[in-house]
Every structure is written in C-alpha cells, then in structure tokens.
Amino acid sequence: MRTIPFLVLALAAQGAFAFEPFTPQVDAASLPQQARTWIEPNPLRGSQDAIAIGRIAFNQTCAHCHGMDANGSRMPAPDLRRLGLGCKRIKDDALRQRCTNDTDAYFIKSVRYGKQKFGIVHMPAWEPYLKPELVWSLRTFIENAPR
Amino acid sequence: MNAALYLACAAVTLACVAGATASAQTPGDTADPSTPTSDEPLVINGCPIWPHTRCPGVDLRHANLVGKNLAGADLRGADLTRADLRGANLATADLAGANLTGARLSKATASNADFRDARFIGADLEGARLMRSDFSGAEFIGSNLEIARFNNAWFVGTRFISNDLQETKFASTNMKDAVFEGNVVRYTIFTQSAMEGCQGCQESWK
C-alpha cells in the first residue's frame, strides 16, 4: 500500500497550513470604479490612496506568510517585493509595459486562485474574500514597499 | 533483456548526438533579427524571455535559452524542439502539452512545474531538478535522465520507454498507471513511491 506516504504528506501539509482566509477590515470606498476589474495592467499603479489601503489589507491578510509591510526576508513564503523587479531595468517602453503586465497577471492569478499542488494547499484562493480593487491596491503597496 | 538494454543505449546515444549538434548554436542564432543585442530581454518569435512570460503555443524550436529565467512562464503547448535550456529556471512554469523533443535541460531547474502531456523524445535532462512537478500523461522516449531529481513528482499514466534512468531520483513519486519499458535502471531510486497499476514497475524498486 504505497498511498500511505501521500496521505501522511497531505495531512502534514494541512497541519502546517492552518491559516484560514478572510475579508480584511479596511475601507476601500475611495478606490476608483475602474479598478473593479481583474484585467491588467494595474489600474491603481502609483496611487497614494491604494498604497495606504493596500498596506492595511496586506498586514491583515498576507503578512502572516509574506511578512509585515511586505518584508519577506526570513518568512516561509516568497518575498513579494522582488516580483517584477527585472521589468524596471528594461529600457524599451513597450517591452517594459508588457513585462509589467505579465507580472500583474501572475500576481492576480496567484491571489485569485491560490497555490495548490497535488491537493495540497500552499496558499488559499482569495477571490471570495478580496475584491479586485483591493487586490490591485495590494499590488500597488508591494511595488512601493521599502526594500 | 539485452535487446531492451541495447535499444535504450541506442536511443540515449541519439539524444546525446542531438545535444552535441545543438551546442553549435550561438545566442544570436535563435533571436529575432529585431532583437536588441544590448542587455534588453531576448524576444523569440514574439515571445519575450523573462519570468512569468505568457507565450502559450509559441515556436521556440532551436532557441538558445541557456541559463534564462523563465520561472512561472506560461508555455503551454509550446514547441521547444531542440531548444537549449541548460541551467535555465523553469520553476512553477506551465509546460503542459509542450514538445521537448531533443531539448537540452541538463542542470535546469523546473521544480513545481506543470509538464502534463508533454513530450520528451531524445531529450537530455541530466542532473535536472524537477521535484514536485507534474508529468502525468507525459512520455519520455530515448531520453537521458541520469541523476535527475524527480522526488515528490507525479507520473500518472506517464510512459518511460528506452531511457537512461541511471541514478535518477524518483523518491515519493506517484507512478499510478505509468509504463516502464526497456530503461536502464542502474542505481535508480523509487523508494516510497506509489506504483498502483504501473506496467513494468518491479517489486524490487519499492
């Protein structure tokens, strides 16, 4: 019976991942209507409102694994401040925009659907708990988080 | 038994010859003529080579992608025939249905990647890191998988025909309904693997 190692692995992983997703307590009413979309590019890029709202939401929902104020060093999950860093070095405007769009799409997909592999949940799907404008504000905050 | 071994050796030799020919490429050979030669990213057949790039179905045949960072890339159904991916980073990339015939992936990192229904014919994966990846429905024919690390990967219904699996690490894998035929399995590790319905899997592997 060789399914036992998988069962043990699955149970161990579920035990290790005890974080349940929830809707953060943050007032996002000031975010613009056009941000209520999952389609990239990030409609809130550079918005100071989004940075402030994103920071509050991040520290309630993401910091558990990705670190307070997006400081992901020494955290179990990846340091999100490194996401899309390479795009900033691209000189060609069109290419840089495409690179940023690809990173935005990856970020949105990861947050909406989470990270699951072989039935093991490494990150929960946040779509039921976070509206698009809040996810974009998270992205905006991370992009501007101090390194 | 000897015939199977000869078949495996001949197929692996083909893989090595294909690899040696591909090594004659230079970086400029595979890029679009319009690709800048500076530090700007490589763009091949409209596909920019960077992490999380989205290029499903792209033609990357013969592309020189040595050491490139394609982590999280969407390369579903891509044609990577004889592509040179030595030392490349394909962690968490989606290569479902990709064609990796004659591709060189030695020392590449492709952990947590999706290779479902992908084709590895005469491919070179020597020393590659492929832990926790999904190879369900894929086929490995005449490929070199020496010392490749597949620990915790899934191979549901995967076909292994005439490959070199010497010292390949398959610990804690899911080999359900997989097919093994004519492979070199010297010092191959299969411990703690599920082999329900596997054709060609041997009791001594468990």
When divided into structural domains, chain A yields a total of 1
Same domain? For B198 and B100 the reply is no
Same domain? For B99 and B190 the reply is no
In a domain, B191, yes or no: yes
pLDDT digit string (tens) for A99-134? Answer: 999 999 999 999 999 999 999 999 999 999 999 999
In a domain, B62, yes or no: yes
- Is residue A24 pLDDT above 70, yes or no? yes
pLDDT digit string (tens) for B131-183? Answer: 999 999 999 999 999 999 999 999 999 999 999 999 999 999 999 999 999 99
In a domain, B129, yes or no: no
Would you call B48 and A117 a contact, using CB atoms and an 8 Å cutoff?
no
Residues of A in CB contact (< 8 Å) with B are 2-3, 5-6, 9, 84, 86-87, 89-92, 95, 98-99, 102-103, 105-106, 117-118
- Is residue B6 pLDDT above 80, yes or no? no
When divided into structural domains, chain B yields a total of 2
Q: What CATH number does the domain containing B5 carry?
A: 2.160.20.80
Same domain? For B1 and B101 the reply is yes
Higher-confidence residue of B197 and A11: namely B197
Would you call B196 and A2 a contact, using CB atoms and an 8 Å cutoff?
yes
Q: What CATH number does the domain containing A75 carry?
A: 1.10.760.10
Would you call A2 and B50 a contact, using CB atoms and an 8 Å cutoff?
no
Which residues are within 8 A (CB) of B163 and not within 5 positions of it... i.e. 6 or more apart?
A: B8, B11, B12, B140, B141, B142, B143, B144, B145, B183, B184
Beta carbons of B81 and B102 less than 8 angstroms apart: yes
In a domain, B113, yes or no: no
In a domain, B136, yes or no: no
Q: Which chain A positions have a beta carbon within 8 Å of B111's beta carbon? A: none
Q: Which chain B positions have a beta carbon within 8 Å of A86's beta carbon? A: 50-51, 69
- The complex's ipTM works out to 0.85
Q: Which domain holds residue A82?
A: 4-144
Q: Which domain holds residue B65?
A: 1-25+51-105
